[in-house]
Amino acid sequence: MHTPPASAQTWSHRFDTALHPAIAQFNASIGFDMTLIEYDLTGSQAHAKMLAKTGIISPDEGETLVKGLETIRQDYRQGQFRPSIEAEDVHFAVERRLTELVGEVGKKLHTGRSRNDQVGTDIRLYLRDQIIRLRQQLKQLQAVLLSLAAQHIDTLIPGYTHLQRAQPLSLAHHLLAYFEMAQRDWERLGDVMARVNVSPLGCGALAGTTFPIDRHYTAELLGFGGLYANSLDGVSDRDFAIEFAAAASVIMVHLSRLGEEIILWASDEFGFVRLNDSCSTGSSIMPQKKNPDVPELVRGKTGRVFGHLQGLLTLMKGLPLAYNKDLQEDKEALFDTVATVQGCLEAMTLLLQQGIAFRPQRLQQAVSSDFSNATDVADYLAAKGVPFREAYDLVGQVVKTSLAAGKLLKDLSLEEWQQIHPAFEADIYDAIAPQQVVAARNSYGGTGFEQVRHALQVARRQLEQA
């Protein structure tokens, strides 16, 4: 009789000797793919039910498999299932344990499927859950942005282009810009979900199977929205993973931009926000310091998420059809992307909720001490019939002479204004007051208070719909 290799592998007896331990270690994914175990069990239960329904195994056998898999789930949850490296991966680990638990019938579970369609099923089920969670987190972030915005409709903040003071804004308008980004992120993940939620189960190793399986039934049991129509594509497609990593990268871009603004705002140079103790740390040597660690870490972690996207693209670009072991490398990239984005969303939401406080006086002082109302002087003249370009040149000169005289536009006397142009009247002072400068931008989507109030209403409705 043929003797199985010393360290019993799950593969066929075609192998005479055991894997070199270093190669076993190198080959194994059990060190990270246990993250998938619950999805693996769920997928296998659906497969077992299908095998019974189609008569490939008996109803009793089907029930034994489903129950055995459930026992493994309970054991795992209670910390009593910790497979070792010998199992190679989570799929082998479960199958072996099942056979230990239920005997010979456990060996029937793998009828009509392969680890290739199995692992594809597992990561899709996993990603589906993670996308649901991420979308909830985005809604929480939006809720916090919305409530902050509602408190700060009348708070003004300098608006920048090129990081130079440009025009003052309602702080609510600024915050709602991030609400919009989060809304797109939420929608984008919804789009990705449509392509994640497709069943490869039953594609077999690459070519389908000789058994009369029912792929529609397993897809339905697992809540998939559709099935891969081509078995080769089904086992080797990772577009959905790339799309997910791309959507995750865009989320990180948004969080990182917001983070960067908060870092600037918390500096003495800006002084627009104060960091509260719950979300900032001190320095080990400089006692006066309070550091914006949360937004800095978010900014920093953005790089690794981009890296995972690049990694997945590169992983796929040279792969011939169908499954190749390279695909085992998709997992850590996905798991780390999920953990990183979820962690960043949670931290950023907390930071906005309780970690920072805007400083209205500093903000008021900032918007009243610059020339960010210069456009409004030009608009004032243009409204009185002076061609805009001419008005623009005139105001440019006024800014220049005022700067030289150490004056702001509001400090000019009416006589001075009228020397510049006879069209100026006493209402120029109202027109250049920051509050009015903001209010006047009442074009759709602008920072005018009326527009901002409207935007808040729309935002509230969007949140309720989710």
What residues act catalytically? 162, 283
Least Å from the CB of residue 291 to ligand ARG? 40
d(CA 331, CA 32): 8
Q: How far is the CB of 31 from ligand ARG (least distance, A)?
A: 11
Strands 226-227 and 356-358: unpaired
Please, what is the minimum distance in Å from the beta carbon of residue 117 to ligand ARG?
A: 9
DSSP symbols for 349-370: HHIIIIIEEE-HHHHHHHHTSS
Q: How far is the CB of 337 from ligand ARG (least distance, A)?
A: 16
Which residues make up the interface to ligand ARG (CB under 6 A)?
29, 33, 89, 91, 115-116, 119, 323, 325, 327-328, 331
DSSP class of residue 126 equals H
Name residues whose C-beta falls within 8 Å of residue 24's C-beta, 6 or more positions apart in sequence.
Answer: 7, 18, 85, 86, 88
For residues 465 and 190, is the Cβ–Cβ distance under 8 A? no
Residue pair 322/232 in contact by the 8 Å Cβ criterion: yes
For 22-86, the DSSP string reads: HHHHHH--HHHHGGGHHHHHHHHHHHHHHHHHTTSS-HHHHHHHHHHHHHHHHHHHTT-----GG
| Three-state SS at 258 | helix
Nearer to ligand ARG, 33 or 214 (CB): 33
Residues forming beta bridges with residue 156, ordered by sequence position: 170
Would you say 69 or 119 has its CB closer to ligand ARG?
Answer: 119
At residue 9, φ and ψ (nearest 5 deg) are -90, 165
116 vs 447 by CB, closer to ligand ARG: 116
Which residue, 9 or 342, is less far from ligand ARG as judged by CB? 9
CB of 27 to ligand ARG, least distance (A): 9
Q: Cβ 89 to ligand ARG, closest distance in Å? A: 4
Assigned token pair, 174: 């600024």
Q: What is the CA radius of gyration of the chain?
A: 31
